[in-house]
Amino acid sequence: MTRRMIWPLIFGVVGCAILISLGTWQVQRLHWKQEILAAMDARLGDDPVAIPDPVHPGRDRYLAVEVAGRFTGEDVLVMASERGIGAGYRVIAAFETAQGRRLLVDRGFIPADARGQPRPEAEAVIAGNLHWPEDADSFTPDPDRANRLWFARDVDAIATELGTEPALIVLRTTSEARPPARPVPLDTSTIPDNHLNYAITWFSLAIVWAGMTVFLLSRIRQRKA
């Protein structure tokens, strides 16, 4: 091997190693994500139980619960969109249990033109899953409190606004005859899982990189000859 071929070979081996390691990491992430989704599916499908007192985000996330009480008529709207419908809002409402606890309930989605429709007090038996969504980030605008409009389901902040416990039930079913919003239950099908595609991409790039390295070395050898 000539001195002229050493650096292209090193460059090719290092590049392949990096690309293969990235593909391997994505495979590991794939297994990790599948385990999480399987555990989430199992918990979402459990029979509902009474809501714990107090609730704990680490222990009770996705716990299926059933609660009797009433919607108090207090709520905020969180900007959202639904496929096939377009822009709208998620209705996050205060719910008072028969035991006097005040909780948050994600009642579901309403289209933009239904924003002004009344959502009065209503007795109900509801079932759903406890959730602490991580919708907000550093780019999320501050809520428009004057119009009860929010841009993320910030459970702690909305709980403070409505005077409830920092616990959100994402509605699955309700005994209301005419619910004011369409429930959007928690579902793992909406959670992206692209790690297999990423892994295939990195491994494919590694193959291309290796092929280009072999081609370059062969060209150098031909020129030397």
Are 199 and 165 part of one and the same domain? Answer: no
Does residue 124 share a domain with residue 26? no
Task: Give the mean pLDDT of 44-70.
Answer: 91
Residue percentage of the chain with pLDDT more than 90: 59
What does the pLDDT look like over 192-221, one tens digit per residue? 778 889 999 999 999 999 999 998 888 877
The residue whose two tokens read 């139980």 is 49
Within-domain flag for 81: yes
The reply to whether 24 and 132 lie within a common domain is no
Q: Does 209 lie in the same domain as 153?
A: no
My answer on whether 178 and 128 are in the same domain is yes
Residue 58's pLDDT band (boundaries 50, 70, 90)? confident
Residue 1 is predicted with a pLDDT of: 55
pLDDT category of residue 15 using cuts at 50, 70 and 90: very high
**Residue-averaged pLDDT of the chain:** 89
The total number of structural domains that make up the chain:
2
pLDDT of residue 190: 67
Domain that holds residue 69: 45-188
User: Does some domain include residue 8?
Assistant: no
As a whole-number percent, the residues of the chain with pLDDT over 70 amount to 98
Indicate whether 53 and 148 sit together in one domain.
yes
Question: Are residues 158 and 201 located together in one domain of the fold?
Answer: no
- 19 with 98, same domain: the answer is no
The answer to whether residues 28 and 94 belong to one domain is no
What is the pLDDT confidence band of residue 111, given thresholds at 50, 70 and 90? Answer: very high
Relative orientation angle of helices 3-44 and 195-224, to the nearest 10 degrees? 170
Would you say residue 135 lies in a domain? yes
Among the ranges given (2-11, 63-72, 166-175), the one the predictor scored with the smallest mean pLDDT = 2-11
Same domain for 171 and 216? no
| Residue at 133 is within a domain | yes
Tell me which of 29-33, 125-129, 136-140 is least confident. 136-140
**What integer pLDDT is reported at residue 135 of this predicted model?**
79
- Condensed to tens digits (0 to 9), the pLDDT of residues 154-189 reads 999 999 999 999 999 999 999 998 999 999 998 877
Q: What confidence score (pLDDT) does residue 175 get?
A: 94
113 and 65 belong to one structural domain? yes
